[in-house]
Each structure stands twice: as C-alpha cells, then as structure tokens.
Amino acid sequence: MIKKTNVFIGILLVFLPYKCNIHKLEPVNEIQIESVYDEIPDIVTLTTYSVDGNQTDSTPLITASGFKINPNNPKRDRIIAVSRDLKRKYKFGERVVIVGAGRLDGEYVIRDLMHQRWKNKIDILINPNDKHTKLRKIKMYRVKNK
C-alpha cells in the first residue's frame, strides 16, 4: 500500500522543477531571466527622459552619481534614473533588467536620481530625437553579481 506522504513527495518532485524554472520562460531580448536574482521584481512606472535642460537640473550631461553622459549618443550608456524610494534599495552603478517595456526591455545601469516628488518610478535616458514613453506595471529585476 502506498503511503500518502510518498504520493505527496512524488507529486512535489514532478512539479518542483516546473515551479522553480517558470521565471525562465519569459525572455528579455538576449538576456535570460536566469541571469537575474530569483527574487520578486519591483513593479514600477517607466518613463523616459533626455538631456534637455527642461527635463534635468542645471548640469544635464552629468548624472547624480557623477557619471558624464556622451552628448552625441546619450542612450548608448543605458542609464536609468530611479525615484528616491527605490534609491534606498538600489545603489548607483547597480545593474537592473527591465521586463515588459517592449523596445525598452533589457539591462540598464542606475546612474541618476529622480526628483523627490516621484515614487516607485524609473526614468530611462534616451536620445533627444527619440519618442518619449510612459508605461505602467513594468518589472525591474536586480542583476546578479558575476
């Protein structure tokens, strides 16, 4: 006679690999989800900004971390600004992966800080001629240290 615990363990062993690897089913461009922590992502609002004096402080080519932005192609450095509440969780220079933002999906480096009025929000640096975007319920994962 089969014990109930053996049946439970058998069922658990069948479904455990599926449950553990479910996060791998959602690709992020060429970055695999397994390259990020197996943690719950931050769900944020995503907007974009450019190095325009109307959208930044008095030094548009220098981020809050002191990083100097390339004036000819600002988006090349894949810079992201975070709201101050997220800054308590993430540090400057940390890499994150954005999922669910279409053409903006991928890996970015936190190098800038947003105005204190914003909460749970990220801002991706784009070139001045690129189209600005606002998206809600975007997943942001912290990239593992390699």
Give CA–CA dist 123/138, Å, rounded. Answer: 12
Pairing of strands 42-49, 134-142: antiparallel
More confident residue, 54 or 85: 85
The answer to whether position 6 is within a domain reads no
The answer to whether position 5 is within a domain reads no
The answer to whether position 19 is within a domain reads no
Rounded to the nearest 5 degrees, what angle is found at the Cα of 34, between the Cα atoms of 45 and 105? 35
The answer to whether position 13 is within a domain reads no
What pLDDT digit, counting tens, does each position of 22-62 carry?
344 344 444 455 555 557 899 999 999 988 766 566 677 88
What pLDDT digit, counting tens, does each position of 4-32 carry?
555 555 554 444 444 444 344 344 444 45
The answer to whether position 23 is within a domain reads no
- Quick check: 79 and 112 in contact, CB under 8 A? yes
The answer to whether position 88 is within a domain reads yes
Domain enclosing residue 137, as ranges: 28-142
CB-CB neighbours of 107 under 10 Å: 18
The answer to whether position 4 is within a domain reads no
Radius of gyration of the chain (CA): 19
- In total, how many domains does the chain have? 1
pTM above 0.75, yes or no: no
What pLDDT digit, counting tens, does each position of 101-144 carry?
999 999 999 999 998 999 999 999 998 888 989 999 999 999 87
CATH code for position 120: 2.40.40
Return the H-helix or E-strand segment holding 9.
helix 4-21
